[in-house]
Structure 1
Amino acid sequence: MVNAPARTHAQASRERKDIVSGEVMDEARLIRFVVGPDGAATPDLARKLPGRGMWVAADRTSVATAAKKGLFARSAKAPVKAAADLPDQVEALLRTRILAGLGLARRAGDLTSGFEKVAAAIGAGKTAWLIEATDGAADGRRKLLALARHQSPRPGLLAIYGSTELGLALGLENVIHTAFLAGRAAERWAEDVRRLAGFSPLLPEDWREEPVEAKREP
């Protein structure tokens, strides 16, 4: 029998146990919580707040279950309050964090916006993610999605913000089409997008065209 390869220290250090299922998984698939000063379970999306971490799978059902069944208190071995709307809080925080990440990426030169520039980035095979405004015209979006289907690997697609929200985050006006260029910055940013997918759709429900395939962890 062939033994499974031993995990490296770095791999093991990034794995945590979900307090709901008991499954050990990568931190990228989990939400960290700590007990806040008010004794409440507090989401720590950046994984930097002081205190013992309590880890929950990054999906609405798991967070709701942890709150409802008192699993935060059990994990902390102390009284811990958990708001009934905790999954909504996590979703809102992720949306804010993802949008802020786009602003940082633009300042670092990792984003390009505008139909022609985005089309050129797709044509050059440099696009990791397409970020489309939810209130943009369907025609331009469909043209970019058609181009993206020929890029390998296909870029991911995110459409949860309106053009005004994107414009404020990026410091631009009338932002409809944006491309997050491939690279380490896009990989880090995408972790939060994948976590958000456990709480809400990444596309409007009324979009009917075939979406670009979502990027997934290997």
Structure 2
Amino acid sequence: MTLAGPRTHAEASRQSRDLASGEVRPRETMIRFVAGPDNRVVPDLAGRLPGRGLWVAADRTSVETVAKKGLFSRSARTALKASPDLAAQVEALLLKRLLDGLGLARRAGDLVTGFEKVVSTVGEGRAAWLVEAIDGAPDGRRKVLSALRRASPSPGLVGLWTGEELSLALGGENVIHTAFLVGRGADRWTFDVQRLSGFRPLVPESWSEAPASAPRSSDPAQDV
């Protein structure tokens, strides 16, 4: 389905053509690539590297298709080298970007950690995201997810890192349960969560008790 056209010049400036499908899409739903000094295709998640942007829909199939079919070179009109594992590179960079984002959110006071505080925050409807360690105790996770199901509005759910990874990123000890508070910081973080969801599930398949983890809607005017 072709996306609706932009209503204003500002909206048009935040859209680009997807090399995989040829459709014009909002940039926050895409990955920007640029040509590096050695003509190797480089992911530019922050959209700040110099050079002409080559935009691809933020999902594994699209990135793999563009790399395999040489569409980067066709668009740039010069020979570019795209690594066979380019989609895996994007996934790894998004995971790191999201984890770094949690560290920034902690320093800004936008995170709540600890079982009791997280359950309370979720129950009060103040959580945009619930971030659960993938190796946390199943009993504790079930109780937190139960609070998530009862919450209105319900926060999104992410289970991507171990407790050790979360602890290192947040400068705490034994971080298992984390709530990302509603606000602009969570809105910006949501864009990268949405992009990552095109490359991997947001929660382990073994979390059969987990509810659907659809991202909370965010400000469409935020550029990535």
With the shorter chain as reference, the TM-score category is over 0.9
Q: Does 1:50 pair with 2:50?
A: yes
Aligned residue runs from structure 1 range 160-179, under 5 A: 160-179=160-179
Any stretches of 5+ residues in structure 2 without a counterpart? 219-224
State whether residues 129 and 156 of structure 1, in contact with CA within 8 Å, keep that contact through their aligned partners in structure 2.
Answer: yes
State whether residues 128 and 182 of structure 1, in contact with CA within 8 Å, keep that contact through their aligned partners in structure 2.
Answer: yes
CA positional deviation for 1:54: 0.3
Structure-1-length-normalised TM-score:
0.95
State whether residues 148 and 155 of structure 1, in contact with CA within 8 Å, keep that contact through their aligned partners in structure 2.
Answer: yes
State whether residues 164 and 175 of structure 2, in contact with CA within 8 Å, keep that contact through their aligned partners in structure 1.
Answer: yes
CA positional deviation for 1:9: 2.0
Alignment size in residue pairs: 215
2:182 and 2:121 mapped to 1: Cα distance?
Answer: 10
1:153 and 1:25 mapped to 2: Cα distance?
Answer: 28
CA positional deviation for 1:146: 1.0
State whether residues 132 and 141 of structure 1, in contact with CA within 8 Å, keep that contact through their aligned partners in structure 2.
Answer: yes
Over 3 Å counting, the alpha-carbon distance change for 1:107 and 1:8 in structure 2 is same
Over 3 Å counting, the alpha-carbon distance change for 1:118 and 1:212 in structure 2 is farther
Aligned residue runs from structure 1 range 10-159, under 5 A: 10-159=10-159
Over 3 Å counting, the alpha-carbon distance change for 1:98 and 1:79 in structure 2 is same
CA positional deviation for 1:212: 4.4
State whether residues 19 and 66 of structure 2, in contact with CA within 8 Å, keep that contact through their aligned partners in structure 1.
Answer: yes
Q: Deviations over 1:134-176 (max 9, x none)?
A: 0001111111111111222210000010000000000001000
Partner of 2:205: 205
Q: Percent identity, aligned pairs only?
A: 62
Partner of 2:221: none
